[in-house]
C-alpha cells in the first residue's frame, strides 16, 4: 500500500489546478487474503478536468512513474478517455437562472463522467441539471437523493423549459 500511495502522486496532481478532480475508484489485491502479502495490486485512477491540457499534464506525471519502485514492478495503461464536452451556454444560463428564481442554492460545475449528454450535445443543444445527494455521495451504494431535492431538480427543469419555450416564441 506504500507503493500505491507513492504511485498516486497526489501532491503533484494537487499543484496542477484546483479544479482537477481525481479519485481511485477500485483497488484489488491478489491474493485478496488478509494474512498474505499480495503479489499483485491493481488500482484505477480517474482524473477529470475541463481543460485537456491539464489532463495531458496528469498523464505526463503518470508517465514519469518509474518501472520499478521498492523492488516492485510498476506499469500502467490508459483504460478509457473521453472528449471534453461544452454544454450549450444559453441552456446552462437558463438552468442557473431557473435555480435562482426559486431561491435554490446552485453552482456551475463541470461534469466529467460519461453521461449520455456528452454524445447528445453533438446533435442538439444540451445542458444538465444535478441535484445534491446526501453526504455528496455519487455513483456509489451510499448515494441517496431525498425526494425534496428531486422535486427541486424537477422545478428547475420545468422553469428551464418555460424559458426555452418563451425564447422560441420571441424568435417566431
| Among 11, 76, 23, 77, residue whose Cα is nearest residue 49 | 23
β-pair partners for 43: 27
Residue 90 phi/psi, 5-degree rounding, is: -65, -40
**Domain boundaries of the chain, sorted by first residue:** 2-73, 89-171
pLDDT at 1: 52
pLDDT at 113: 57
State how far the Cα of 55 lies from the Cα of 127, in Å rounded to an integer: 23
State how far the Cα of 42 lies from the Cα of 74, in Å rounded to an integer: 10
71 touches 65 (CB < 8 A): no
Each residue of 141-172: pLDDT tens digit? 899 999 999 999 999 999 999 999 998 877 76
β-pair partners for 30: 40
pLDDT at 166: 93
Residues of the chain with pLDDT under 50: none
Extract the C-alpha cell encoding 71: 523492488
pLDDT at 70: 78
Architecture of the CATH domain 89-171: Orthogonal Bundle (1.10)
pLDDT at 3: 58
pLDDT at 20: 87
Q: Does domain 2-73 have CATH number 3.30.70.360?
A: yes
pLDDT at 82: 76
Each residue of 124-140: pLDDT tens digit? 999 999 999 999 887 78
Amino acid at each position: 500500500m506504500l507503493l500505491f500511495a507513492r504511485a498516486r502522486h497526489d501532491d503533484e496532481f494537487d499543484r496542477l489546478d484546483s479544479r482537477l478532480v481525481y479519485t481511485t475508484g477500485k483497488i484489488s489485491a491478489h491474493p485478496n487474503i488478509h494474512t498474505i502479502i499480495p503479489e499483485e495490486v491493481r488500482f484505477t485512477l480517474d482524473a477529470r478536468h475541463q481543460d485537456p491540457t491539464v489532463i495531458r499534464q496528469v498523464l505526463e506525471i503518470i508517465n514519469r512513474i518509474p518501472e520499478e519502485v521498492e523492488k516492485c514492478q510498476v506499469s500502467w495503461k490508459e483504460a478509457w478517455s473521453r472528449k471534453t464536452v461544452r454544454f450549450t451556454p444559453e441552456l446552462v444560463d437558463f438552468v442557473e437562472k431557473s435555480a435562482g428564481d426559486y431561491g435554490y442554492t446552485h453552482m456551475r460545475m463541470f461534469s466529467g463522467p460519461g453521461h449520455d449528454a456528452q454524445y447528445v450535445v453533438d446533435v442538439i443543444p444540451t445542458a444538465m441539471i444535478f441535484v445534491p445527494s446526501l453526504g455528496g455521495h455519487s455513483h456509489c451504494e451510499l448515494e441517496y437523493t431525498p425526494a425534496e431535492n428531486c422535486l427541486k431538480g424537477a422545478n428547475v427543469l420545468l422553469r428551464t423549459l418555460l424559458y426555452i419555450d418563451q425564447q422560441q416564441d420571441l424568435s417566431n
